[in-house]
Each structure stands twice: as structure tokens, then as C-alpha cells.
Amino acid sequence: MKIAFSDFKTKLDKKGVKLPENIQNVLSACKSFTCYNTTEELADAATNGKENNEFAVSYDIEGKGTFTEAIVHRVQNGISVNYTEAYMRRRDPGTMVIGDDKPTGKQRFSEKYNYPFSDIQKETFDWLKENDLAVFFYFAGRQGIGSLGIAIAPANAGFFAMGLSMLQEIVAIDELAENSELKSVIYVAPVFRHTHFEGKQVVVHNRLDDIHELYSYNLYPGPSAKKGLYGVLLTQGEKEEWVTAHCSAVQSISPYDIVTTFMHEGASGGGKSELHQHIVRETDGRVLLGKNSVTGETRYITIPRTCNFLPIADDMAFCHPSFQQKNGKLGIMDAENAWFVRVDSVNQYGDDPVLEKTTINPKKPLLFLNIDTKPESTALIWNHIEDEPGKRCPNPRVVLPRESVDNTINGSVSVDVRSFGIRTPKCSKEDPSYGIVGLFHVLPPALAWLWRLVAPRGHKNPSIVGTGAMESEGVGSYWPFATGDRIIHANLLLKQIIETPRTIFSLVPNQNIGVWEVGFKPQLLMREYLTRRGGAKLKDDQIQAARCPLLGYELNYLTIESSKIPSRFLKVYNQVEVGTEGYDAGAQVLQEFFNRELKKFLHEDLFHTGRKIIDACLSNASIEEYNQIIPMDYEYSFNNIEDYEQSSYNNGL
């Protein structure tokens, strides 16, 4: 129901919740606003009322007339949204700008647009005041880690507000804790992308002393409702010295009841959501390992019984000091209330039976993006909208609340295996590339840190608008969403890695291994194999220094349940189509990429251990040299806190 500003403020005053001046000015002067208390209420608002099964989200654009941003359908399993522009169906990597004058490694609004942010800020407030608005409170984070915020959006953008209320838990006004502090606000004003930003997605961070303001000038939730508020959490972590990792996580259980916890990091498209997938079998029960893109040969393996797993996190996890135990392993907890799941790998019925069942018969209404639907139909996650005739959208999504996913782990866990994913292109002698990564590699801690600094976005990223070439997503793979200084985050990650020596690091490709098309099978098979070992250190004769030192240790052999993985999947130079010639040329591409990106971190504020690691890489260091800087000792354990504090791992940063 609509509420008068005076009544709204009275409710907050009774709870001791103070509204910052900018928020008061907008809400007291707007045409009207409705304060929502549940996601279900926002689902009704998505189509301008529960009685409507279709709604066009349109705005009058000065000088351009009426423009429809999206078409919203009420479907049997929730709300389905399709944007009228293909560009709006993926996140633009150049979205973030900084509106304040606090320290930052990002481009400021005034530098990019040649006028002060305060000018458009006033115009934004004036536009919001001319409209009916939707307002609700949210908690960015989980279980007390994070902060309270408020969302202010045009009333007809109910689908956007619904998505935000799912990703960041909505808090009813009557359930606000006494004396709660508002630490963030998101203002949504989609018309400005047309009037001021040439149709582009723009999100402005304005970090005031008392509140972090976000200005979302578009209606795709990726860069604002999700990654924008991720930036709020990263800003909080900068001040309090902890990291919100860009990762997924599962606890995997082998057929022999061995439990292993995996944390999978990487840039967008690096396989985070896919860590939650079950291995799909062929009709005869075999598992397709890969297909040779040159010869057409296929290779299968047989796994009688695969591991079960419990989901922990899909895209973001708190690495908070309160989770750290004395076992030398990293402690994490999911940082999200819902998951923004990409379903481009689900192309037909049966590709992911568990996710299909979850989304067809959800416990609560879901939000679908870029899925082809009709009003009152059932949204099916394999029916992707087409960007143009014959070309399916590469970024279909569903917002999936954690409570809709069975057997999720809600608390913190210790990480046994910390993997890093990279989308790799095909590699051959004739067309060498960085697609030289084997099924998986074991990384020394120093190299694991370097991979997180450069965080390659990789080949044909489906989630964002990009060039298709290898680009760096930056420190931690979360740098595009951070507002502060990259050196702060480089130091935080290095300290974290040194202080958790018993967490194993691995590197895993997806899409291609040399000339073999493999999809996301490498990380799923890594999960299968290392679960059976309990995340234990591999035998000495099973690994050797990789031909390309940046890849750490390569596997000499690998057998899963009596199925031997061919050597050409472990050592790409063993593929006749690649050979040492194609491999070495690809290694050079990778080395040049690392050299270019790592020079950005050579700053006086970088820990001296970090400088030693980067200098070693720039000098084409061997694995032994990396291990001399940070010993690779996964079997090390601490008997008590005094041992930990005095250990070589925790000193000399």
C-alpha cells in the first residue's frame, strides 16, 4: 500500500532508524511511494498488479518519445523478463564509475564524462520526485555480516525491485532492528542511460561518510542490484580487512563418505555456477569427456557412481576473520540471499535435471531473465530468448533463492580445495592460444596468488559485453566491482593465502583443452577425483612441474574409478594437433599477458613478499623459485595458536 512520507518517517523514528537527507528529500517530494515488505508483494508489482499477466516497462525519453525497456510476463513459476535490446541482456564491463573524491583505483565520473557528478545527481533526484516510487529495505550480506540498505526505484520497475529483494534479503519495515543504521542506498533511474549515457549501462558509486550511495542508470540487475552491492560489501571489507571472494562453493561427498569442500573462483564465465551441476551421462551411462574439433573423435569414460554434494555459495562468499579456525584452512560463508544462475549450458530437457526440477516447481516465485515465455506459461530454463533470428542469447538467467535449493549449507565451512577457473579457446600448431591448460593443475601458493591478481576473463564470456579476447578481470576476479585501491586487495589476498597453508590450490579450464571441446567437464571431474582423495596432497610421482611454469604442476596420470584419463587431456603438448610448438607459443601468450597485468601491482604499498613473487614471474621463474618464496606445505598443521602466530607462514609479508 502507498504510504505518506510522514507516516513512513514516524515508523522509522520509533525504531531509531535515521534517514539521510538525500533520501528524505526524494521521498518527501515524490508523487507517491509504496513501501514493500515482501518479495511476493514485489512480484505482484512486476506486472502492475497480480491481475495482469503482461506488462511493458516503458518511459518517456525527452526528444525520443516512449521507449520500452522490457516486457514482463507473469508465468506459472514466477516472473519472466525480456529486454527489448540485446545489449541489455548482458553486463557491460565498463559500467562502474566513482562519483566521490575518496581514494579509488577506478575512473571517476568527472574524468569520464567531463562534468561533476553533482550535476546529474540533482537531475536524478528531480526525476525521481516526478514519479511514483517503489521503496523497500534490504540487508546486503547474510547472518549479520554486511549492512542495511534501502532501495528507491520507479514503481513500474517492479521486476527490478523484485530481483534486488531476492538477491539482498528484503527486510519488512516492522522488522527493522532498533537503532539500525542505513549504510547503503540504491537509486534506480533508467531513463538517464538514454538521455546522458548514449544507451549504455552506468552505475555510479558515491561513497559518503555515513552512507554508500549507488545510482543505477539501467534495469539489468547484474551491474547494480548484484555487482553494485557487491561493491558495497568490498568497500566494507577494505575498512575492516576482510574479503568477499568471487566464488562458488560446494561440500562434496564421495561414494565412500569422504567429505571435501571446494571453493571455485574466477572471472565471469569461469565456471562458478557450474560447480553446482551434476555430471550428465549419455543414454548408455557413459560420461563424455570431450570431442576433438579437428577429427571429430569423441572420448568417453565410465564412472559407476558419482559424488553427491551440498551447495554452499554460487558467486560470492565472505572470508571473514570470525570463520578462521586453527586448522590452517580458509573459512568461508555464502554472502548472498539468492543466486543469479546462468543457464546457458542447459539447452534441452534433461541437461540439468536437478535445476530443471527446482525452477519448474519452485517453493516461491522465481525471476527469469532472457527466457522465451508467454503469459501464464511455465518458464523453462532451456528456452533461451534469441538476440536475433537463429542466435540464442548467451546469458539466460534465473534468480534462485537459497531456500529454494535443497540441502544448502547455511553456516561457515573450511575449504579443502580452492580452484581457479578460466575459459580457454582452442589451441593448435596453426592457431596457438592460451588453451594449453590441462584437465587440472596444482598451483603453489605464490602462483595461486598471481592467478588471482590477473584473473583472466577468457574466451567468449557469455555473461558480459566484451571483445572476446583475453582480458583481466583484475585482483581476486572481483576488481570490476571494487571501489577502492587494487593494492589493498592484493595485500588482503596475499595475507589470506599465507595464513591458510593447508588449503590446496588448483587451476582448471573450461570449454577447450587444446583442440578438444570439453565444456565444464574438467572442473566436475576434478571435483570427483579430489573428493575421493579427501582433498589430500597428490602422490609425488603423479605430478611434475608443468612445461609452462605459470601452470604450476601438471598431472602425469589420473584414474577415476578405473577410468584412465588419456595423457593428451593432462598435458596438452601430447596432442598431435598441438605438439610442443603450439604449446610453447600458447605459453608465450600467457606469459605476456601476466607480464602486462602484473606490472600494475608494482607499487610501494604492496607487501614485499608480493613484490618478490611478481618479480619472479617477470623473470620467468621456475616452480622451485615460487616455492622458495611461499613454501607449498599442505600437510602443515598448527598445534596451538602460538605456533600459528610464530610460524614462517604468518610473518615476513
Confidence at residue 506, expressed as pLDDT on a 0 to 100 scale: 97
Given a contact cutoff of 8 angstroms between Cβ atoms, the answer to whether 582 and 432 are in contact is yes
For residue 13, pLDDT over 50 is answered with yes
For residue 653, pLDDT over 90 is answered with no
Of 343-347, 407-411, 611-615, 634-638, where does mean pLDDT reach its minimum?
A: 634-638
Confidence at residue 636, expressed as pLDDT on a 0 to 100 scale: 41
Confidence at residue 276, expressed as pLDDT on a 0 to 100 scale: 92
Model confidence at 463, pLDDT cuts 50, 70, 90, reads low
Confidence at residue 537, expressed as pLDDT on a 0 to 100 scale: 79
Q: How many C-beta atoms surround the C-beta of residue 70 within 10 A?
A: 22
For residue 651, pLDDT over 60 is answered with no
Angle at 265 between CA 259 and CA 270, to 5 degrees: 115
Model confidence at 175, pLDDT cuts 50, 70, 90, reads very high
Model confidence at 645, pLDDT cuts 50, 70, 90, reads very low
Distance CA 576, CA 428 (A): 9
Distance CA 66, CA 74 (A): 23
For residue 637, pLDDT over 80 is answered with no
For residue 505, pLDDT over 80 is answered with yes
Average the pLDDT over 486-492 and give the result: 96
Over the stretch 384-401, which tens digit does the pLDDT of each residue have? Answer: 999 999 999 999 999 999
What does the DSSP 8-state code read for residue 385?
P
Residue 164 CB contacts under 8 Å (≥ 6 apart), including other chains: 138, 151, 186, 221, 225
Distance CA 45, CA 157 (A): 8
Render 187-247 in DSSP notation, one character per residue: EE-TTHHHHTSTT---EEEEE-SS-EEEEE-SS-SIIIIIHHHHHHHHHHHHHHT-EEEEE
Distance CA 197, CA 231 (A): 21
Distance CA 456, CA 594 (A): 9
Task: Read off φ and ψ for residue 83, nearest 5 degrees.
Answer: -80, 150
Query: Under the phi-then-psi rule, with left for phi > 0, alpha for psi from -120 to 50, and beta for the rest, what region is 271?
Result: left
For residue 621, pLDDT over 90 is answered with yes
Query: Under the phi-then-psi rule, with left for phi > 0, alpha for psi from -120 to 50, and beta for the rest, what region is 379?
Result: beta
Q: Is 212 exposed, middle or buried (0-12, 13-18, 19+ CB in 10 A)?
A: buried
What does the DSSP 8-state code read for residue 622?
-
- Percent of the chain at pLDDT > 70 equals 95
Amino acid identity, residue 103?
A: P
Pairing of strands 78-83, 308-313: unpaired
Over the stretch 283-320, which tens digit does the pLDDT of each residue have? Answer: 999 999 999 999 999 999 999 999 999 999 999 999 99
For residue 643, pLDDT over 50 is answered with no
Residue 31 CB contacts under 8 Å (≥ 6 apart), including other chains: 129, 130, 131, 132, 133
Structural domains in the chain plus CATH codes: 5-49+84-240 (3.40.449.10), 244-330+415-644 (3.90.228.20)
Confidence at residue 634, expressed as pLDDT on a 0 to 100 scale: 55
Nearest alpha-carbon partner for 448 in 506, 489, 522, 523: 506
- Which residues pair with residue 108 across a beta bridge? 98
Average the pLDDT over 253-271 and give the result: 93
Residue 305 CB contacts under 8 Å (≥ 6 apart), including other chains: 255, 561
Query: Under the phi-then-psi rule, with left for phi > 0, alpha for psi from -120 to 50, and beta for the rest, what region is 502?
Result: alpha
Average the pLDDT over 77-86 and give the result: 97
Amino acid identity, residue 392?
A: R
Nearest alpha-carbon partner for 527 in 405, 417, 375, 445: 417
- Angle between helices 486-498 and 227-240 in degrees, nearest 10: 70
Residue 194 CB contacts under 8 Å (≥ 6 apart), including other chains: 61, 64, 67
For residue 115, pLDDT over 60 is answered with yes
C-alpha 537 chain-centroid distance:
28
Q: Which three cell numbers stand for residue 248?
A: 562458488
Given a contact cutoff of 8 angstroms between Cβ atoms, the answer to whether 99 and 208 are in contact is no
Confidence at residue 468, expressed as pLDDT on a 0 to 100 scale: 55
For residue 466, pLDDT over 80 is answered with no
Q: What is the mean pLDDT of the chain?
A: 93
For residue 644, pLDDT over 70 is answered with no
Average the pLDDT over 48-56 and give the result: 96
Confidence at residue 647, expressed as pLDDT on a 0 to 100 scale: 43
Distance CA 176, CA 138 (A): 10
Model confidence at 649, pLDDT cuts 50, 70, 90, reads very low
Confidence at residue 350, expressed as pLDDT on a 0 to 100 scale: 87
For residue 640, pLDDT over 60 is answered with no
Over the stretch 212-223, which tens digit does the pLDDT of each residue have? Answer: 999 999 999 999
3-state secondary structure of 330: coil
Confidence at residue 536, expressed as pLDDT on a 0 to 100 scale: 79
Q: 263-278 burial by CB neighbour count: b if 16+ within 10 A, else e?
A: bbbbbbbbbbbbbbbe
For residue 50, pLDDT over 60 is answered with yes
Average the pLDDT over 580-600 and give the result: 96
Give the best-scoring range by mean pLDDT among 342-351, 552-561, 626-635. 552-561
Length of the chain (residues): 653
Confidence at residue 269, expressed as pLDDT on a 0 to 100 scale: 83
Confidence at residue 648, expressed as pLDDT on a 0 to 100 scale: 42
Amino acid identity, residue 305?
A: R
Longest CA pairwise span in the chain (Å): 75
Q: What is the 3-state secondary structure (H, E, C) of 256-310?
A: CCCEEEEEEEECCCCCCHHHHCCCCCCCCCCEEEEEECCCCCEEEECCCCCCEEE
The upper half-sphere exposure of residue 406, i.e. CA atoms within 13 Å in the direction of its Cβ, equals: 9
- Percent of the chain at pLDDT > 90 equals 86
Pairing of strands 308-313, 132-142: unpaired
For residue 185, pLDDT over 70 is answered with yes
Confidence at residue 646, expressed as pLDDT on a 0 to 100 scale: 44
